[in-house]
Structure 1
Amino acid sequence: MESLSIYGTPYQFSSSIRQDKLLRDSFNQLTQLTFGFDFSAWHRAGLWTDGYQPHCLIADGQVVANISVNRMTFCWEGHPLSMIQLGTVMTRPDFRGRGLSRYLMERILQVYGGTVDLIYLFANHTVLEFYPKFGFSPVEETLFSREMPAPSGEVPRRLDADADFSLLLEMVQRGKPQGAFPMVGNRELSLFHLLGPYRDCLYLLPNLDVLAVAEYQGGSLLLWEVFSPQKLSIGQVLAAFSQPGISRAILGFPPNGLGGYALSPLPGGDDMLFVQGPAEELLRKRPFRFPALSHA
């Protein structure tokens, strides 16, 4: 750990808390306090790797501020793009207003700026004026929706995130996301979502060899992601979920073709996208969204 002073107050800095149980527990406590979840189960499953690297400030042996670096690769029109997503931005309430997030942001950008095609993050509405100070610009994402097709007769089998963990792992390892802007080779982040926020949305479509992450909301089907070892029509997947009263499908990823889809601005809510880097202009050229399961 590195000792330093910020506005006259001593802190320690670490980007390797994963190996330190006391600091890892403190980090999880702050994450639970700030966001209502933690990374303990993910770590126990062996899924916390160097691809997710917290950058922490520590006071009196406790993590008091953090910004995490997530190393990502996406495929854009057949070409890989290297990216860093910043996430888990948090400061303990009694340490806010002391410039700790500013220090961490400046330090991270000094190290990683210019090394990847894009650095990006999702900001909540309370800090929208903070990130432009560091060279980030907002980019509007697109909501893709369409009418549900006729039922196919396929019966989705509901999966249990714990009991069916081995099957989930196999499907994520064998399968590929099916959208036009897929995250590449990051099974750890995919499984974080499948074991956490989307654990009640898991379905196997045996005849299609598909793992679908989906849920019904009102009169719509929210299809968050599809994993399959071969390319397939999203319409085939949607048809398996067709039922009376469900008229529209909303995708959590951009489809490979726009025919039949209605496009509208993705509601910002607590997830406004900010970006910087040479790939920024690519994202402004056509409708897109970062896949829901790629959010860190």
Structure 2
Amino acid sequence: MTSTGSPPKDHRTRDRVIRALLFVAVGVSLTVTLWGMDLSRLGAALKAADWRWLLLAALANTASQTTRAMGWNAMLTAPRIRFPLLVRIEFAAQAAAAVSPEGMGEFVRIGYLLREGVTRTVTVTLMLVRKYFSSLGLVPFLVFVWRPGSGVPGWAVTVAWLYAAVLAVETVLVVRVSRAPAAPAREGRLRKVVFDARTALGPVRRPRVFAEVGAAAVATRALDFIAAAAVARSLGLPLSVAVLVVVLLSVEVSNVLPTLPGQLGTFEAAVLGATAGTLGQAEGLAFALVLHAQQVLPQIPLGMIAMADTSILRNRSKRNSS
């Protein structure tokens, strides 16, 4: 007789298959990413860089995974998930997103949260909300772009205003959609999905949760800015606060474009465009490569460790419950 506490065999097999696919996908994608990168130019830039500032950038990037997990911790009220586990999931998801085709990181998140009792509908809904807050977190920094004498090109100022306008519209939509939904009058799979999605927004309706997720997003963006400033300082590049904010804005906007694994190509193009009026092409490319590397490279080993650690914790929990 099978113990009621042991997981079904097909679930164990599915978990093993998902875990194996995750490791293979990250490993293959990492190879593709590094194969397409100009490692000689990146190596030359790193040799001329001050490693103390690069270390600060890497630490800021690592800390930003924790602030992202704080946002998820505020939104996930039922079921409650331990914060250390959310941090591990964030590292795993970001590692997969850093070196794989678009959507792979969110697939990782869905898989792990599904095993913790969070349905796919809830996870996908909260992912969209988290993306909205992530974009909203950049708005306070746009003040540096809008102020007179910022020294940034006119197109950047226009993009910043358009960015804020789009987020204003999204804010209205989020507030309206997040209202408590009425149960669907008729049955239907689509109606149930929509009802479940709107129900998942319940925590966001609370002012305290809204403020916590927003604060976590601003903190994440502040850490992104610190990392970009540290990379510029390490390379001895004279980039102002406004230009660094334009760099972050350009990378954010480029996220909507189809891209290779790890935003390879689109990331560099966004950074080069943002610094075109300030840096030469060679300096801009060096900055883009190092900035991209400090985002991607620390996440990969930490994410792989998080994947293994999360799996070990999950298996241990299953053994204890059986």
For normalisation by structure 2, the TM-score amounts to: 0.25
**Structure number with higher strand proportion:** 1
**Higher RCO (CA < 8 A, seq sep 6+):** 2
Larger Rg: 2
